[in-house]
Chains A and B, each alone.
Chain A
């Protein structure tokens, strides 16, 4: 209880300051001009993105180039993590072999994990593919997708995941497919006389090119986090042996 004294003092100070401040601030009731422009134009209007989901329309159409470069920051961060934990081919094979037997979890946990992983895959795909109509999109779906391999690593082990065929190389290939897809969709309007990342009128249906961007970003984010966690699940002994430090 002794450690709660400072936080109580902080909260009391907050309430006192707020009492002084409250006469001076005006509650914000209107949306800013730029936000109003996006709200009016996302489906109707002259600068339409043909998407009722205004947030995804801003992400991949109005401020699409921003998101493209954010994706490249994501790419660099994941590449940096992989470089810190780099292994050559022989060491990678070594890391795939189970060095010590650990106690397995009970049957109940394993069965429940199987069901939940299937549900997570379905929900994340739904979040990503409906992203241009309802709340959701590539980033949200991808981060939900990354929870599935994490659950498998926790309930079974990383070796079970690799035995099923999802190892680090495959995850990196999936991620590259996602990134190449984003680049191709961004460059496609150039062949039809548009500019980079143009949406309307090159893709005339509901949502336009947003659904492609969402799908490829879904692959890139989900597979990128999966690769990182596969590396993180390698036991520390293997790395200490490779680096030649410690015990």
Chain B
């Protein structure tokens, strides 16, 4: 039975890996913020599967809400595209 928990955990962690990779190579910073928000949602589910409900409550509000809003403010004040 524990295998099912572990498989769910594996899927969320893989989603986190793929979307953090996309967030880092993306040149449009607003899209990168969206990708990192998806990574944050995947990690929130991972925290729940790891039996940490306390962290889920703090992490959902911080990483999906406040952090994305902060970065959107910063991008709107600095510039949208990254020049490589």
A binding-site residues for B, Cβ under 8 Å? 3, 6-7, 10-11, 55-56, 127, 135-137, 139-140, 143-144, 146-147, 150, 154, 225, 229, 232-233, 236
Contacts and interface: CB of A to CB of B under 8 A. Distances in A.
Interface size class of B (residues with CB under 8 A): 10 to 19
A33 B39 CA distance: 33
Nearest to B2: A27
Contacts of B56: 135
A240 to B, nearest CB: 10
**Prevailing SS type, chain B contact patch:** helix
B8 interface: no
Interface in B29-84: 53-54, 56-58, 61-62, 65-66, 69-70, 73, 77
A139 B73 contact: no
A135 B53 contact: yes
Contacts of B17: 7, 10-11
A182 B68 CA distance: 29
Nearest to B68: A150
B54 A146 contact: no
18 contacts: A6-B21, A55-B54, A56-B54, A135-B56, A135-B57, A136-B57, A140-B57, A140-B58, A143-B66, A144-B57, A146-B61, A146-B66, A147-B66, A154-B69, A225-B66, A229-B70, A232-B73, A233-B73
A156 to B, nearest CB: 15
B57 A229 contact: no
Given A3-B25, A7-B18, A150 B69 contact: yes
A225 B69 CA distance: 12
B14 interface: yes
Nearest to A139: B58
